[in-house]
Amino acid sequence: MNDKNDIIRFSVSLPQSLLVELDAKVDGKSYASRSEYIRDLIRQKMIQDNWEDDSIELVGVLTIIYTHHHSDLVLRMLDLQHDAEIDIVCTTHVHLDHHNCLETLVLKGEARKIIAFSDSMAGLKGVKHCELTKTAITHS
């Protein structure tokens, strides 16, 4: 029986041109080996696939840049946060300059609810940029 931490070796066949590109990425990103790079790619794909499954609790980080002087914007953002059907684990607020603020919100919940919340925030008048970074906990 294999332990979760056992390393299993297997072969992958690639066209030479793809292997050359792979090696360039491994070197360019300072990975220790092809295996490390490929493991990261697999995890990234698994996380991406998890965002298509509403039965899994996921994690996202919402980054928002907005003009805080815009009429009622901060109150509307707070209302959306208080009414959210997801968990807002924490928020960070940074004053970038006299007019612009940056907020990050760490979100937990179902994919569709996190995306709906993110879209609601992005649609507020006065929000200049709103981007959701999708992630999840992988078990490997």
Binding-site positions for Ni(2+) = 82, 93, 95, 101
CB neighbours of 61 closer than 8 A, spacing ≥ 6? 104, 105, 106, 107, 132, 133, 135
- Look up residue 70 and give its two tokens: 């815009």
**Do residues 51 and 102 make contact, with C-beta atoms less than 8 angstroms apart?**
no
Q: Which residues sit in the known binding site?
A: 82, 93, 95, 101
H helix or E strand, kind and range, residue 128: strand 127-135
Nearest to 38 by CA among 21, 53, 58: 21
Q: In what order do the strands lie in the sheet with 87-95?
A: 87-95, 100-109, 58-67, 127-135
